[in-house]
Amino acid sequence: MLNLDTHILIYLLSGALNPREQQLITQQPLAISDIVLWELAKLVQLGRISLNLNSPAFLNALRQLTVIPINLEIARVSAQLDFRSDPADELIAATSIVEGVPLLTRDHKILASRLVPFA
């Protein structure tokens, strides 16, 4: 399984993945932290992305993903990371640590971590 951060999911939905990301995504089941859904809604609300969260295409894509809920262990680990970022990114990274699922991200702050498993 592969955990996608918010921007990787946006790139997937818009067809903007690079070749390495595309190859990784086609090789295994995909997951997201449930905070990614909130981030998508906020990005749409703020006009930073154009995405219809009610469209059949989006809902079908969402059905292909495992949505991992935030739990106490993920919340606890998010406060013990070796980097600082926005809280959503910290929860996404902590999800990968707790669930033992590699994270696919382009975020340089997260990529500097020695704790997060990466794809």
Give the whole-angstrom CA distance, residue 105 versus residue 119.
Answer: 8
The vertex-48 CA angle with 7 and 59, nearest 5°, equals: 60
- Taking residues 9-27, what's their average pLDDT? 97
The model's pTM is 0.96
Distances (CA, A) of 26 to 64, 69, 79: 12, 23, 32
Q: Which pairs from 21-26 meet CB under 8 Å and 24+ separation?
A: 21/104, 24/104, 24/119, 25/104
Which burial class, exposed, middle or buried, applies to 43 when counting CB atoms under 10 A from its CB (0-12, 13-18, 19+)? middle
Look at the chain and report how many structural domains it folds into. Answer: 1
Question: What would the mean pLDDT of 26-35 be, rounded to a whole number?
Answer: 97
Does residue 29 lie within any of the structural domains?
yes
Q: With bands split at pLDDT 50, 70 and 90, how would you rate the model's confidence at 42?
A: very high
Residue at 11 is within a domain? yes
Flag whether 117 is in a domain: no
Question: What is the model's pLDDT at position 33?
Answer: 98
Q: Please give the pLDDT value at position 78.
A: 98
Which pLDDT tens digit goes with each residue over 51-110?
Answer: 999 999 999 999 999 999 999 999 999 999 999 999 999 999 999 999 999 999 999 999
Query: Is 93 inside any structural domain?
Result: yes
CATH number at residue 44: 3.40.50.1010
Q: Is residue 118 part of a domain?
A: no
Q: Which domain holds residue 100?
A: 2-111
Show Cβ contacts of residue 94 under 8 Å, excluding neighbours closer than 6 positions.
74, 75, 77, 78, 81
Contacts of 80 (CB under 8 A, 6+ apart): none
97 part of a folded domain: yes
Strand order of the β-sheet with 65-68 is: 65-68, 30-33, 2-4, 103-104
